[in-house]
Amino acid sequence: MDERARGASPPRGFRDILPTEARELRAIEATLTSTFESYGFVPLEPPTVEHATRPAIFGEGRTVQFLDRDGRLVELRPDVTTAVARLVAQRYRDATDALRLSYFSPVYREEPAMTAGEREFVQAGVELIGPAGPMADAEVLALCVDAIERCGLSLDVRSVHVGNVGLVRRLFADLPDDARELVLGALRSGDQVGAIRIARDAGMSAAAVERARHTLGLLGKRIEELGDDDDVMAIRNVIHYARELYPGKPMWGLPNLSLVPELPYYTGIVFEIVHPALGSPIASGGRYDLLLAAFGAPRPATGFAINVARLHQALFADGWRPPNERPLVTLHPNGDDRVSLRCAAALRACGLAVAIGAVAEPAGQPILIADVVDERSVKLADGKVIAVDKLAQELMT
């Protein structure tokens, strides 16, 4: 690669999003945000930069930090939920009713160079702050599934995993704090075998190890083997309530008792949305009742975040394309600039998108080539002359 081109390319972990992909992402954004609004969630925009002195959520070296001109250590926002928790603690400290907040925002995280991981990606999600209990958890779960399906991705019971971090923590409650965190870290990466080995090496009894192994291996209907444990009942209740929201669905979630999301602030019900074409979840969420307390304003809370790039990949793998779109009319002038401009204006007034002249980047849109005849009519590629309003009528039906 030419050295000048190398210097002009984005830094590692950042990338250019070209028009076709950007147009598809805008279509996904419009669907997600309108779905959030249909559940009563209102948008907000926390700042891109936060103080790095906030409660630590990520491990050492996972955030993009720098000194600002005031000499203060700041960081690019690594997660929207923590930013919302800080915002709510400051701006809505005295609020007593539920807060329904939504967002569509980029986040930034450091990834090791050898992993080629993205350091910038977009999250879309909601935070429901104030309500506790299965109805709130079920509504958030149902909204996450509903939003993804409205984008065009078909999900089934195997796509939606529901767990309970409280149950997992209780399984390993007898371990020292540092060993328990190592176990949870292994489970976050999906390494059940490693988690059991860590617990055994840390002195966990053989009976407790076997109980943990058995519990973590329970999936689907076999959750009934655990009986009426409160944490298990919480999973059942959330799935049941979600089914009440959408009775047409045969089941809203596959119980997965080994589920521990990547971020450590979850305290109760958790869930992930997965797709066979991806190695990582499309979305994850759950209850995080202690996070706002870290900012001095304790309140129950639950929510989710959708990784928009992964959702886009899953949609594309399933053959999705943006919804039916009217073509872009590329209008070839007839030599009289004033007539050509008026013809373009007339087409746009009828609701059509018009570019005067050929375009180098159509961004995947269908193209309709037309030559200007006069201010109110054009000639199509097949030689047909048609009035502007008639063309618009045909294209918009």
pLDDT digits (tens, 9 = 90+) for 8-58: 788 888 999 999 999 999 999 999 999 999 999 999 999 999 988 766 676
CB 287 within 8 A of CB 137: yes
Looking at the fold, whether 308 and 334 belong to one and the same domain comes out as: no
What are the pLDDT digits (tens) for 185-220? 899 888 999 999 999 999 999 999 998 998 888 776
Q: What is the pTM of this model?
A: 0.88
Question: Tell me, what CATH number does 109's domain have?
Answer: 3.30.930.10
Do residues 249 and 354 both lie within one domain?
A: no
Residue 391: the pLDDT is 96
Is the same domain home to 255 and 384?
Answer: no
- Please name the residue that has the structure tokens 């209907």: 221
Domain finish residue from 288, 317, 346: 317
pLDDT, position 215: 86
Question: Percent of the chain at pLDDT above 70?
Answer: 91
Are 120 and 193 found together in one domain?
A: yes
Grade residue 303 by pLDDT with cuts at 50, 70 and 90.
Answer: very high
The answer to the question of residue 322 being in a domain is no
Percentage of residues in the chain having pLDDT higher than 90: 66
Query: Do residues 86 and 37 both lie within one domain?
Result: yes
Alpha carbons 266 and 181: distance in angstroms, whole number: 13
Which residue among 262, 288, 317 closes a domain? 317
Within a domain: residue 323? no
Which pLDDT does position 243 carry in this prediction?
A: 81
Q: How many CB atoms lie within 10 A of CB 274?
A: 21
What is 223-262 written as a DSSP string? Answer: GGGGTT-HHHHHHHHHHHHHHHHSTTSS-S-EEBTT---S
pLDDT confidence bin for 323, thresholds 50/70/90: confident
- Condensed to tens digits (0 to 9), the pLDDT of residues 97-122 reads 999 999 999 999 887 655 557 889 99
Domain that holds residue 357: 328-395
pLDDT for residue 235 = 87
Residue spans of alpha helices (H) in the chain: 3-8, 19-38, 80-91, 134-150, 165-171, 177-188, 192-201, 206-216, 230-245, 308-317, 337-349, 388-395
Q: C-alpha angle with apex 340: 336 to 343, nearest 5 degrees?
A: 145
229 pLDDT above the threshold of 80: no
215 and 336 both lie in a single domain: no
SS3 125: strand
Q: Are residues 169 and 275 in the same domain?
A: yes
Which DSSP helix (H) or strand (E) runs through 106?
strand 99-108
pLDDT at 322: 83
The answer as to whether 339 is a domain residue is yes
The answer on 85 and 161 residing in a single domain is yes
pLDDT attached to residue 107: 94
d(CA 73, CA 80): 19
Q: How confident is the model at residue 251 (pLDDT cuts 50, 70, 90)?
A: low
Indicate whether 311 belongs to any domain.
Answer: yes
Which pairs count as long-range contacts for 61-69, CB under 8 Å and 24+ apart, including other chains?
61/110, 62/109, 62/110, 63/108, 63/109, 63/110, 64/108, 64/109, 64/110, 64/119
Structure tokens, 176: 């020292």
CA distance readout (Å), 332 to 227, 354, 376, 379:
72, 10, 14, 10
Whether residue 234 sits in one domain with residue 364: no
pLDDT in tens, 334-388: 999 999 999 999 999 999 999 999 999 999 889 999 999 999 999 999 999 999 9
302 has a pLDDT exceeding 90: yes
Task: Check residue 63 and report its DSSP letter.
Answer: S
Cα 168 from Cα 141, distance rounded (Å):
20
Number of domains in the chain: 2
135 within domain boundaries: yes
CA distance 102 to 38: 11
Across all residues in the chain, what is the average pLDDT?
A: 89
| 88 lies in the same domain as 175 | yes
d(CA 242, CA 141): 7
Q: Is the pLDDT of residue 2 over 60?
A: no
Question: Are 227 and 346 within one domain?
Answer: no
Residue 7 in any domain: the answer is yes
Average pLDDT of span 274-283: 90
Does 281 lie in the same domain as 150? yes
Neighbour-count burial for 168-177, b at 16+ CB within 10 Å, e otherwise: bbebbeebee
Which among 147, 190, 141, 110 has a CA at the least distance from the CA of 308? Answer: 147
The reply to whether 240 falls in a domain is yes
Residue 273 located in a structural domain: yes
Instruction: Determine the Cα–Cα distance for residues 101 and 143; give it in Å rounded to an integer.
Output: 13
